[in-house]
Structure 1
Amino acid sequence: IETVAPAGAINSNVVDMSQWIRLQLKKGKYNNKHIFSEKQSNEMWSNQTAIENMNYGLGWFIRYWNGKKLLNHGGGMPGMISDVSLIPEENFGLVILSNAETGMVTAIRNYIMESFFLNEPKDWNKMMLDNWKKRIENFAKENKRREDVRVKDTKPSLPLEKYCGVYEDKMYGKAEVSLKDGNLFLQFLPSPTMKGELKHYHFDTFYIDWEDEFLTRGWVKFEMDFNANIKHFTIEVPNSPDFVFTELLFEKAK
């Protein structure tokens, strides 16, 4: 967890987090002391980036629920998921910490808010369980689809050592492809835990099962130039929980 320390390595509990929620709802004031200013609080709660169906402030997702501004942010690591939600207009806040990797946290949050403000909470447990089952079903269908379209009995265009080298994406940084025990191995250099063996899928496409089980299976596609030299690779990781790879283009270093 040290590799994501700025994002998720603070040890806390619901008692401590409740005090932090009070600080947020008081716009930076706690026990008659100003930890941060009201101006800074307003800036954190203001729209900074537009996202589908919501906006993002500074550390907060922003949307409207039941006609009132709802601020929240979740978090997750293998084995745990959490959520903090605020409705400032109602001076309402809650924190949920769990030791599960399911939609349970969202179900609990929505049930509590509807119990407080609508008096007729939906059966969020059933709804989230149904959604989870559907997600697993769709994931299995996608894996089957990829296996069905796979062209059998193909080989890489070049000897494996020709794929090896350092690649770089202008936005993300560098990645290295090497040979390990006779197979290609991909390592994202800025992120030590993002690594795994590349296994041949078809032609010049390989699939990767990450050593970090938090990441789902991905596909790495290499492209050649007219001189049969590897030019770059792209990567696709469907159902990735936190990382979006689709805009990355890793060009091979000269």
Structure 2
Amino acid sequence: MHWRFPMVARPLRFTFALVFALILLSGTAAAGAFEDRLSGFERYGVKGMKDWKVPGMALAVVKGGEVVYAEGFGTRRFGEDLPVTGDTVFQVGSTTKAFTVALMATLVDEGKADWDDRVAELDPAFMMYDPWVTRESRIHDLFAQHSGMPAYAGDALSFLGFGRRDIVRSLRHVKPIYSFRDKFSYVNNLFVAGAEVEERLTGKSWETLMRERILSPLSMTDSSLTEAGLTGNTNNASLHVLVNGTPSPIEPGSMLAAWPYVYGPAGGLNSTARDMARWVGVQLGRGEFAGARLFSPKAADYMHTPQTPVFAGDFHGAYCQGWMRSELKKTVVVWHNGGTSGINSFVGFSPELDLGLVVLTNLGGHKLADALGLQFFDLMSGVESDWSERFLKERAAAEKAEAEEAEATPPSLPGLPPAAYAGTYSSPVYGEMAVTAERNRLMVRFGKDKRVAIRVRHRTMHTFAGDWPEMDPDSPEYHFDFDVTPDGDVASVTIRELHYDGLAVFTRK
């Protein structure tokens, strides 16, 4: 569930994501121009599906306070004749974050909280690495992406069987790499912490609050918050991941299908293009859509106001409260994207032009949804561009660099006998890891109840590697780097691919 624009290093080879959005038309001629441009956008999207190998996609457009368009393309499951419609249910990933912030806005409107309230005073379990940051963190800090933590800190917990309380508890172990409120760094864990505050303030679960305060009032009847809610709808989009260049369905109940619901407040919503369009309508209506008011205009303005500058390559913008805000060539756009293992999505709107867009796809790890968000608003404003082609070229360059790096395999140097690495290791975040020797290999077990088991083989010196296809079907190899003292004692082991946040070190007991 993370933000990726432009492409950045892959911390866990998965996503919870973000990207942009445009139009001001009036009169009969303008309406005709809108329809023509929308048809052109449709064709562009269908071509993009082929280029990016996306099995299915749904689009919706909000204009003038109404959902004026909701259509589906392709198939709900690769290789099968299951047409996508505007009412097909998808995971929507990190576009959920704005819902969690909106829940807090309703509590602020009711006087139950204030954006400037100290988090630790509302939730005694909240603790950051730095005591000062713990004391000074306010509600608005939870949703502004400027905590100082490494991007995506602690996200692996949801893959390893841990729950939301474990995620909040892990915050105290995440060493910051930036000063508090100094730089943009995208995380999911603080939205879970924010939802915990909402639950303490109301005595109700986040799921109940979502249904009572947003989904039901907006008549988002096809939206849900669990994996069962997705699979139980007969018009659901299967999740897909590319394996050897071909879309492969992710089976229900698997780790890759289930983890977004652990991170629910940061990315666990299922919805349709039509339902999400109603949500976009609320943003354009500053808290109101089709006669339903969810929050005040003041709250809407606050959530859409820049909080943290974002500079990534040639992209300049700002993170607000669960939304991004960007200045395109002709308008200001508020948006967010989403990505789980098996989907990518985009939700964006232009307040000054009174236009919004929803893009839902059933393939993970691509940038078509982002490209369509940009392309739509460029097209509607008369700006010539080809964002899909640009992102395809960027992907090709990245793949070439990865291939060249893979070819530069280091020589295999001897290490210790396998039995020397055997033992029990411990992490304050991920718990215990058991390492046992099996002839010339090691068996590594970790995660909650040691549910993950990987057989690893020696690579070079004190590094072992093995496949973890449940985590990454297309690139499954994970590396375990043992730290050995000058005296030859094994002190710790680090899971290289999970250590982007500094948490994946297990110390020998």
**TM-score past 0.5 threshold:** yes
Please give the secondary structure, in 1, of the residue aligned with 2:375: helix
Structure 1 pair 175–24 and aligned structure 2 pair: CA distance change class (3 A) = farther
**Structure with more of its chain in strand, by fraction:** 1
Alignment pair present for 1:112 and 2:369 = no
For residues 309 and 491 of structure 2, the distance between their equivalents in structure 1, rounded to whole angstroms, comes to 34
Instruction: Give matches, 1:147-226, under 5 Å.
Output: 147=409, 150-152=410-412, 154-160=413-419, 162-168=421-427, 172-174=429-431, 176-179=433-436, 182-189=441-448, 196-210=454-468, 211-213=470-472, 216=475, 217-226=477-486
Q: Percent identity?
A: 21
Aligned partner of 1:11 among 253, 270, 283? 270
Please give the secondary structure, in 1, of the residue aligned with 2:345: strand
Please give the secondary structure, in 2, of the residue aligned with 1:125: helix
Structure 1 residue 233: Cα displacement? 3.2
Paired letter, 2:383? E
Paired letter, 1:110? L
Alignment pair present for 1:84 and 2:347 = yes
Q: 1:33-53: CA deviations, max 9, x gaps?
A: 321233333333234444433
Alignment pair present for 1:250 and 2:505 = yes
1:42 aligns with: 301
Structure 1 residue 212: Cα displacement? 1.6
Structure 1 pair 166–93 and aligned structure 2 pair: CA distance change class (3 A) = farther
For residues 90 and 191 of structure 1, the distance between their equivalents in structure 2, rounded to whole angstroms, comes to 53
Aligned partner of 1:66 among 315, 329, 334? 329
Structure 1 residue 84: Cα displacement? 0.9
Q: Which has the higher contact order (CA 8 A, sep 6+)?
A: 2
For residues 249 and 97 of structure 1, the distance between their equivalents in structure 2, rounded to whole angstroms, comes to 33
Q: Is the 8 A contact 1:78 1:214 kept in 2?
A: no
Q: Which structure 2 segments of 5+ residues have no match? A: 1-256
For residues 332 and 449 of structure 2, the distance between their equivalents in structure 1, rounded to whole angstroms, comes to 37
Structure 1 residue 163: Cα displacement? 4.4
Q: Is the 8 A contact 1:28 1:41 kept in 2?
A: yes
For residues 354 and 282 of structure 2, the distance between their equivalents in structure 1, rounded to whole angstroms, comes to 11
Structure 1 pair 179–80 and aligned structure 2 pair: CA distance change class (3 A) = same
Q: 1:53-83: CA deviations, max 9, x gaps?
A: 3432322233322264332222223332111
For residues 485 and 496 of structure 2, the distance between their equivalents in structure 1, rounded to whole angstroms, comes to 21
Structure 1 pair 60–175 and aligned structure 2 pair: CA distance change class (3 A) = farther
Structure 1 residue 186: Cα displacement? 5.0
Paired letter, 2:503? L
Structure 1 residue 203: Cα displacement? 0.8
Aligned partner of 1:94 among 357, 362, 366? 357
Paired letter, 2:360? L
Structure 1 pair 47–228 and aligned structure 2 pair: CA distance change class (3 A) = farther
| Comparing 172-181 and 197-206, the one that deviates more | 172-181
Paired letter, 1:250? V
Instruction: Give matches, 1:134-149, under 5 Å.
Output: 134-145=397-408, 147=409
Please give the secondary structure, in 1, of the residue aligned with 2:363: coil
Structure 1 pair 190–22 and aligned structure 2 pair: CA distance change class (3 A) = farther
Q: Is the 8 A contact 2:419 2:437 kept in 1?
A: no
Paired letter, 1:104? L
Q: Is the 8 A contact 2:418 2:442 kept in 1?
A: no
Paired letter, 1:112? F
CA RMSD of aligned residues (A): 3.1
Q: Is the 8 A contact 1:195 1:212 kept in 2?
A: no
For residues 500 and 300 of structure 2, the distance between their equivalents in structure 1, rounded to whole angstroms, comes to 32
Q: Which structure 1 segments of 5+ residues have no match? A: 238-242
Aligned partner of 2:289 among 19, 30, 35? 30
Q: Is the 8 A contact 2:496 2:504 kept in 1?
A: no
Structure 1 residue 208: Cα displacement? 4.4
2:211 aligns with: none
For residues 207 and 233 of structure 1, the distance between their equivalents in structure 2, rounded to whole angstroms, comes to 12
Paired letter, 1:33? A
